[in-house]
Structure 1
Amino acid sequence: MKINICMEAPVDIIVNEKKLATFMCTPKDLEDLAIGHLYSRDMLKNIDDFISATSCESNRRLLILTKSQETKPLFNISNVILSGCGNGSIFNEDILEKESLNIKYSKKIDVIKEAFLVMQKQSVMYNTMGGMHCSAIFDDKDNIFVREDIGRHNAVDKVIGAALKERVNLENSIIMTSGRISLDMVLKAAGARIPIIVSLSIASDLAIEVATKLGICLIGRVKYPNPIVYNDFLGGII
């Protein structure tokens, strides 16, 4: 019997000749991973600041060139980003001082549920081998961009990068994830100015606290008959 096995490998991402981190990830769509990660941490101001990405050593090193000057990142990370739990952002109290996104964007829950099903259908690696996470950007033109990775936070970075390359207006978009909504997911959405996060799972208490402060709507258990809407600021989700 043929067994499909999910891919995981260490990938060093080098930005302007300085090592950013080693990512334990699925070595696919690495340019998207780097762009999304840098943008969500406010280390890439916009897609026009991105110059090039060069992969070498069998996709184990990715050399990134940007126009951006070295800036203080929105949040800190460890030097090695593991694919499993507990390896995302490092909490900093300064995050709570960040202003609310104050973005007036909403979608009806039935439309969101349909988009989530589309994401799952397009998640080829998950559907063929399991053990993977998927994430999608659902924009105001009803486009759905999907990326997958063994790590849920990597999948989020990848799909943010993919959407940026297509010049999607992320302020009028929703990010969807197969993983739970933890603090790192909220920080990535805040950095990318995405006002709504949707999950197959649930949100943590800290994620809810920070998301409420930053004006980010969280929706959990989206495939249930009655999804959990943790904070509907505009009253337009249900």
Structure 2
Amino acid sequence: MNRKGCPDEYPISLTINGYEIAVFQLTKFDLEDWAYGYLYSEGFIQDANDIEAILVDEEMGSISVSLRTDFDGEQVFSKKKHYTAGCGRGVTFFSMTDVKSFEKITAEKTYSLSYLLKKRSEFAQKSELYLETGGMHGACIIKEDGSMVIREDIGRHNAVDKIIGHAIRKRLQPEQLLLLTTGRVSYEMISKAAKFGFPVIGSRTAATKQAVQLAKYLNIEVIGYLRGKMATIYTSAGRVENDVSSELALEI
């Protein structure tokens, strides 16, 4: 019997300008990308230039960030925290009401469903930590030329933060990107996608009812259960063309 290695997770504290925000369970890969992505997703920064310095100390389990902008730690701590569901639990400061105030997505680029299925398969084949351990989540962006960048973590939302961090550090334009994830699409996942501006998010598993409602409101296309030749089209923003059998692609 082939035995896979166990996936790793470590407590990592995030400090901004001397204020400890929280301790997160993270996999020790691409932690700098995670910090950029999390800070952007939560509204602490507007772009990569807002970070003056960042120090990742894996041995001590800490990430220390210095911002160029003013940071009111007391105001942050006064906001209600929402703990994200699932493995690698994290913290978000955005409620469903907050996310509804985000700008609606207007990108017009379209994809065929067969293309999404093909890229989802390629994503799975290139997810090295998952192939090694069998217990990792992943997130990837598909660029306009079809190339992909993958980030993995014990937590599905952490993986998405890592890929967003990569995108903002490389100054990639969201309207030309496709986001794929291995994890369940919940409202906080939609909030991260909406904050960056991803027009389409695809997953190998389900989307929650709240996530679908929010995606429809923000005009984000959500495709779930991308497996083989099957898929569930949860929304109808017009960015995904169903070019496979209607019996295999369920439209909700």
Structure 1 and Structure 2 fold alike (TM over 0.5): yes
Question: 1:199: how far off?
Answer: 0.2
**Of residues 223, 230, 234 in structure 1, which corresponds to 2:227?**
223
For the Cα contact (< 8 Å) 2:26–2:153, is it kept in 1?
Answer: yes
**Of residues 112, 116, 119 in structure 1, which corresponds to 2:116?**
112
Q: Secondary structure at the match of 1:37?
A: helix
CA distance in 2, matches of 1:107, 1:174: 9
**Of residues 146, 164, 167 in structure 1, which corresponds to 2:171?**
167
Q: 1:57 to 1:136 in 2, by over 3 A?
A: closer
Q: 1:33 to 1:41 in 2, by over 3 A?
A: same
- Give matches, 1:1-238, under 5 Å: 4-56=5-57, 58=59, 60-70=61-71, 78=81, 84=87, 87=90, 89=92, 91-234=95-238, 236-238=240-242
Structure of higher CA gyration radius: 2
CA displacement, residues 99-158 of structure 1 (integer Å, 9 cap, x when unaligned): 412222322222222221222122111101111101101122323110110110101101
Q: Which runs of 4+ in 1 moved over 3 A?
A: 68-73, 76-83, 85-90
Question: 1:205: how far off?
Answer: 0.6
Q: Secondary structure at the match of 2:139?
A: strand
TM (norm. structure 2) is 0.84
Q: 1:49 to 1:229 in 2, by over 3 A?
A: same
TM (norm. structure 1) is 0.88
Figure out how many residues of one structure are paired with residues of the other and give that number: 236
CA displacement, residues 60-81 of structure 1 (integer Å, 9 cap, x when unaligned): 00111232333888xx774877
Sequence identity (%): 26
CA distance in 2, matches of 1:9, 1:85: 9
Counterpart code for 2:87 = G
Counterpart code for 1:67 = R
For the Cα contact (< 8 Å) 2:223–2:233, is it kept in 1?
Answer: yes
For the Cα contact (< 8 Å) 2:221–2:240, is it kept in 1?
Answer: no
CA distance in 2, matches of 1:11, 1:55: 10
CA distance in 2, matches of 1:208, 1:229: 10
Counterpart code for 1:211 = A
Question: 1:163: how far off?
Answer: 2.0
Q: Secondary structure at the match of 2:141?
A: strand
CA distance in 1, matches of 2:118, 2:147: 12
- In structure 2, the gaps of 5 or more residues are 243-252
